[in-house]
Chains A and B, each alone.
Chain A
Amino acid sequence: MSRPARPVSPGFLRSSWIVASKDLRLEGRTLDAISAMAVFSLIVLTVFNFAFDLTTVRSVGVSKLVPGVLWTTFAFAAIIAFARSFQTEKFRDSLSALVLSPVDRGALFAGKALANFVLVLVLQAALLPLSAIFFDYDLLAVAAPLLFVVVLHTLGIAELGTFFAAVAVRVGRGEALLATLLFPVSSPLVISAVKCTSAVLEGKPLASVQQWLLVAAGFDVLYFLVALVTFEYVVED
């Protein structure tokens, strides 16, 4: 009886995890992206805090003002992580080694998107309590639905950001191109995120924004599938 052939590469999920854990290990060691994102976010939140004092926030309403501030900050800060994830690959052209390996190119995308997703979540975990202090709202009272909203929308933004960061690095452009591509395409997700966050801060049930949640989930799946299929053409020379 013939021996089954040894697989030439790990499976999709394992390959994705190998890539993601490498990226997270590198970031854990250098803290390059996280520290840059944290400084940027802190400055933006502080500026908004001075622009809208508590009297203004209370008169306008936390649910009207804070979601826009939060998601603008998240989106711009996340660009730093997305760009950084491919600058690391470009520095010694290790992206070529990844592409040359027998791993499914979709798994390379999924791994890098997963690492970016985790990095942005870490940033959000630090920023949300800070925003609750700055804008005086009860985070604990809305923690569970807010967590759901944040995870659902951040996933799609991380997928898109990772994909466009790969495009930007392949065509030799930097964060300017990444931002130009990312913000228009991610606008449905960001609008949905603002609407859902607003409802959560108003104390409404998530069912009241069911359509927006479905839009976000739909875009998460759509972006993932499109990136899986097309990533190969982005990273190949």
Chain B
Amino acid sequence: MNARPIIEAKGLTKRYGALVALDGVDLEVQPGESLAIFGPNGAGKTTMTRILASSLKASAGTLRIAGRDPRVHDRETRAMIGLISHQTFLYDDLTARENLLFFARLYAAHDAEARADTLLRSLGLIDRAEDLVRTFSRGMQQRLSLARSLIHEPQIVFLDEPFTGLDPHAATVLQCTLERLRGERRTLLVTTHDLGRGLDLSDRWVILSKGRLAAQGLSREADRATFESSYFAHLAASRRVGATA
């Protein structure tokens, strides 16, 4: 029997004026589950991620994180969540270590310095710990951003297009780290255009299109070639509908 979902969303809707970015999405994610969220640009992936991560308010619908209403238990909910976004959320003129310690202190993280060192070492950044972030490559900044999001040992980690702009080495380090997080039974929600990586990293997948959940399934049951062709066929169909509407 499944445990109580760690994320329960019902009818999540987000409107920006006349534009409906998210249109009545229902979603449940179990503790320790890894979910890949696919969809074309503008499908509502980032909006959904930010609402689930409690950094954006929904226009309608209900959300429960670990059985609690994030609007009521906002600080406890935020303490459970780590988020990697398109932006790194880092300060260019602080060193890598200073960035991590700053965020660790905001989360009252236990043994912050040791935790920061552990993350810097595991992400291959320990030799650059005292360097300013402005001197880092995009891949290094993304790895440091991952460390930032994990500094408080969150139960739920949201990753919004984490592989975008990474070189192969940085992408491999990120993938290994995410696999380790899966091994630790943390809940992961990954939005990505990289179908292969998304399926590899997830237990379940959903496709978001025009703000709605268009399809979902189990990653282990997805035949890669069939999945890719049906995904692109689905995108083409949704574009045709959009063009005729």
Whether the pair B102, A92 counts as a contact (CB closer than 8 A) is: no
Question: Which residues of B, 103-156, contact A by the 8 Å Cβ criterion?
Answer: 103, 105-108, 110, 148
A contact residues vs B (CB 8 Å cutoff): 6-10, 15, 18-19, 22, 25-26, 29-30, 88, 91-94, 96-104, 236-237
Write out the residue numbers on chain B whose beta carbons fall within 8 Å of the beta carbon of A91: 92
Evaluate whether A7 and B53 lie within 8 angstroms (CB atoms) in the complex, with A22-B102, A26-B94, A102-B76 already known: no
Whether the pair B108, A96 counts as a contact (CB closer than 8 A) is: no
Evaluate whether A93 and B107 lie within 8 angstroms (CB atoms) in the complex, with A8-B79, A236-B57 already known: no
Q: Which of B83-91, B169-177, B180-188, B203-211 contacts A (4 or more CB under 8 A)?
A: B83-91
Interface pairs (11), CB distance under 8 Å: A6-B108, A6-B110, A29-B94, A92-B88, A92-B91, A94-B90, A99-B55, A100-B55, A101-B78, A103-B106, A237-B57
Write out the residue numbers on chain A whose beta carbons fall within 8 Å of the beta carbon of B106: 9-10, 15, 18-19, 98, 101-103
Whether the pair B91, A10 counts as a contact (CB closer than 8 A) is: no
Write out the residue numbers on chain A whose beta carbons fall within 8 Å of the beta carbon of B87: 92-94, 96
Whether the pair A92, B90 counts as a contact (CB closer than 8 A) is: yes
Evaluate whether A94 and B91 lie within 8 angstroms (CB atoms) in the complex, with A9-B79, A101-B78 already known: yes
Whether the pair B110, A94 counts as a contact (CB closer than 8 A) is: no
Whether the pair A18, B105 counts as a contact (CB closer than 8 A) is: yes
Interface SS, B side: loop
Interface SS, A side: helix
Whether the pair B94, A8 counts as a contact (CB closer than 8 A) is: no
Write out the residue numbers on chain A whose beta carbons fall within 8 Å of the beta carbon of B76: 8, 102
Whether the pair B79, A102 counts as a contact (CB closer than 8 A) is: yes
Whether the pair B105, A100 counts as a contact (CB closer than 8 A) is: no
A103 to B102 CA separation, bound complex (whole angstroms): 12
Q: How far is the CB of B160 from chain A (nearest CB, A)?
A: 11
Q: Which of B56, B75, B94 contacts A102, CB < 8 Å?
A: B75
Whether the pair B50, A237 counts as a contact (CB closer than 8 A) is: yes
Write out the residue numbers on chain A whose beta carbons fall within 8 Å of the beta carbon of B53: 100
Evaluate whether A100 and B81 lie within 8 angstroms (CB atoms) in the complex, with A6-B108, A9-B108 already known: yes
User: Nearest chain-B residue to A101 (Cβ)?
Assistant: B106
Q: Which of B78, B79, B89 contacts A92, CB < 8 Å?
A: B89
Q: How far is the CB of B33 from chain A (nearest CB, A)?
A: 21
9 shortest interchain CB distances as A-B pairs: A8-B79, A97-B89, A93-B87, A102-B75, A102-B79, A101-B106, A102-B78, A237-B56, A18-B105
Write out the residue numbers on chain A whose beta carbons fall within 8 Å of the beta carbon of B105: 10, 18
Given contacts A9-B75, A100-B81, A100-B83, 10 further A-B contacts (CB under 8 A): A18-B106, A29-B93, A30-B93, A92-B89, A92-B90, A93-B85, A93-B87, A96-B55, A97-B83, A237-B57
Write out the residue numbers on chain B whose beta carbons fall within 8 Å of the beta carbon of A93: 85, 87, 89
Write out the residue numbers on chain A whose beta carbons fall within 8 Å of the beta carbon of B94: 22, 25-26, 29
Q: How far is the CB of B24 from chain A (nearest CB, A)?
A: 20
Evaluate whether A26 and B54 lie within 8 angstroms (CB atoms) in the complex, with A8-B79, A101-B106 already known: no
Write out the residue numbers on chain B whose beta carbons fall within 8 Å of the beta carbon of A25: 94, 98
A20 to B57 CA separation, bound complex (whole angstroms): 27
Write out the residue numbers on chain A whose beta carbons fall within 8 Å of the beta carbon of B90: 92, 94
Write out the residue numbers on chain B whose beta carbons fall within 8 Å of the beta carbon of A30: 93
Q: How far is the CB of A107 from chain B (nearest CB, A)?
A: 9
Write out the residue numbers on chain B whose beta carbons fall within 8 Å of the beta carbon of A18: 102, 105-106
A29 to B85 CA separation, bound complex (whole angstroms): 26
A19 to B78 CA separation, bound complex (whole angstroms): 18
Q: How far is the CB of A7 from chain B (nearest CB, A)?
A: 5
A30 to B92 CA separation, bound complex (whole angstroms): 10
Write out the residue numbers on chain A whose beta carbons fall within 8 Å of the beta carbon of B148: 97
Whether the pair A92, B55 counts as a contact (CB closer than 8 A) is: no
A30 to B93 CA separation, bound complex (whole angstroms): 7
